[in-house]
Amino acid sequence: MAKQVGILPLEGRIENLTFYRTANGYSVQKVKGVSKETVATSPAFQRTRENMAEFARAVSASKLLRMALSDAISGSKDSRMNNRLNTVMLKAVKLDQVSDRGFRNVLDGELQILEGFDFNKAAPFEQTFDGGIRSSFNRVTGVCTLEVDSFQVEKKLKKPDGATHFRFLMAAAAINFETGVKESVSAASEYIAYALSGVVDPLNISVSLSENSEHPVMLAVTIEFVQEINGKMYSIKNGSHNACILHRVDTNV
């Protein structure tokens, strides 16, 4: 045990050190932590192990979803998106009313609560675009469709400074959360110039997944803003103004 001999008396804990006063002055003692082996084997940590297993399952599912929809998400997310998605995915796991504690999972949970998740909290989708939009998925044919109603740009679309063009993009994925196998597709509209877009005609974007998939299907929709310079399109502030939402979750239940 170390004994404090300096001029600054301390009481309390700093990281893994505890400072306290004794009859002989102030002393410091290192706090003993719980070993990894104890957490892994002790009956006292059974609940901890169960929580850790379910959290790991949620994090793994979140990573798989992000990878499957990366075409839509990669340039349209905030810095804490991973943590926010992990939190919602863990809620989905805990809604599993079939499996034993510690074995709850996303397939037996409630993936539907992910629908409406904004990947970029700095640009919520419904605050960026206030027009009519619908997505659909036909499990028999595998066809995923995005329909955007005709809209007046100045009234319905929030334009970031510097943007000269925008477009809609849809990414769809059938995800096997047990094996980690995924099927991903994406498509986008043409870039639409603000200068020529007082009123935008209806848009229709379609992609196709495998027919009769048995796995959950996710559809993400992104509004991407760019600036055209000398015929090339450049992202606006690394996509910080792009809006991306998990627009549809079809669990095949």
Q: What is the 3-state secondary structure (H, E, C) of 194-215?
A: HHHCCEECCEEEEEECCCCCCC
Residues 42 and 29 in one domain: no
pLDDT the model gives residue 70: 98
pLDDT at 6: 54
pLDDT in tens, 210-250: 999 999 999 999 999 999 999 999 998 888 999 999 999 99
Q: CB–CB of 191/175 below 8 Å? A: no
For residues 178 and 59, state if they share a domain.
Answer: yes
In a shared domain, residues 142 and 184: yes
Q: Which of 90, 93, 75 is nearest to 171 (CA)?
A: 75
Judged by DSSP in three states, 149 sits in coil
Q: Are 145 and 84 in a shared domain?
A: yes
How far apart, in whole angstroms, are the C-alpha atoms of residue 228 and residue 193?
9
**8-43 b/e with 16+ CB inside 10 Å = b?**
eeeeeeeeeeebeeeeeebeeeeeeeeeeeeeeeee
Q: Are residues 107 and 178 in the same domain?
A: yes
**What digits encode the pLDDT tens for the residues 109-128?**
999 999 999 999 999 999 99
Q: Out of 134-143, 163-172, 197-206, 220-229, which region has the weakest mean confidence (pLDDT)?
A: 197-206
Is the same domain home to 107 and 24? no
* 26-35, 118-127, 179-188: least confidently modelled range: 26-35
Neighbours of 240 (CB within 10 A): 17
Domain that residue 115 falls in: 37-250
d(CA 187, CA 146): 10
Q: What is the pLDDT of residue 236?
A: 87
Same domain, 24 and 69: no
Q: Calculate what percentage of the chain has a pLDDT beyond 90.
A: 73
Contact of 85 with 92, CB cutoff 8 Å: no
**Best-predicted range by mean pLDDT (10-14, 28-32, 46-50, 51-55):** 51-55
Q: What percent of the chain has pLDDT over 70?
A: 84
8 and 103 part of one domain: no
pLDDT tens-digit map of 200-215: 999 999 999 999 999 9
Answer yes or no: do 100 and 224 share one domain. yes
7 vs 29, residue with greater confidence: 29
The overall average pLDDT reported for the chain is 89
- Asked whether residue 79 falls in the same domain as residue 158, the answer is yes
Strand pairing of 199-200 and 217-229? unpaired
Q: Do 169 and 84 sit in the same domain of this protein?
A: yes
Task: Tell me phi and psi for residue 75, to 5 degrees.
Answer: -105, 20
Split into its structural domains, the chain has a count of: 2
Do 62 and 7 have their domain in common?
A: no
Categorize the per-residue pLDDT at 7 as very low, low, confident or very high, splitting at 50, 70 and 90: very low
